[in-house]
Amino acid sequence: MVDSTQPQTRGPGRPPVRSEDETRALIIAAAAKAFLETGYVRTGIDTIARDAGVSTRTLYRLFNAKEDLLKEAMEARIDAAIGGLDAARLARVDPRSSLEALLTNYADLALSDEAVRLTRLIAGERQEVPALADSYRQATARITKAFETWVRDHQTSGFLRDGDIETVAHLLRGTINEAQRQILLGLRDPFTPAERQSWVKASIALFLDGFAA
């Protein structure tokens, strides 16, 4: 008689069963690495599947197309930072400290080596694959929303002057995007942590000079 209370064990030599979420994460990580090393156009689905240790059948069961993999790879990087952006926006501190936290978290994301390389990839291949730009916009929509919400909150509180929320948020985010642009164009080397923080402080001063109430 079999004792059904005993835990089931795997047979010898059989690999542990991964959850679907774990498999998706492995595929996304493999895709991000391959895109950055080989380029989006030159990276094949079979290469991503092999590097992730799954079959192409499994990959296509979880992702409809290669464009989805790029979008998911960008969103995975954003997921790691969006919590910090939201925490900065919601923190019960003075508006200037909240702004510094918001820009610091965004700078850590946008000026990272991975983000710079991914942005360079999209800029270089978007004409050949127009869907790349769409994937980028969709993946970064939450960042846009975080900045617009911060601006809206602080216009309402009276810390910022009234103005078009989308435009003001775009200009605020642009203070960090300009730093990324300089790296992309080879106008300067990547920022050290100290240089990054100095840029953030200068961006705050510039922004508040133009938009503080």
Looking at the domain assignment, is residue 5 inside a domain? no
**14 exposed, middle or buried (CB, 10 Å; 0-12, 13-18, 19+)?**
exposed
CA 181/CA 177 separation, integer angstroms:
6
The 10s digit of each residue's pLDDT in 71-121 is: 888 887 777 767 766 776 666 678 998 899 899 989 999 999 988 988 888
The H or E element spanning position 45 is helix 45-52
- Which domain does 144 fall in, by range? 65-211
Q: With DSSP H G I counted as helix, E B as strand and the rest as coil, what are the percentages for the chain, rounded to 5?
A: 70, 0, 30
Looking at the domain assignment, is residue 108 inside a domain? yes
Query: What CATH number did the domain enclosing 160 receive?
Result: 1.10.357.10
The pTM assigned to this predicted structure is 0.78
Residues 87 and 36 reside in one and the same domain? no
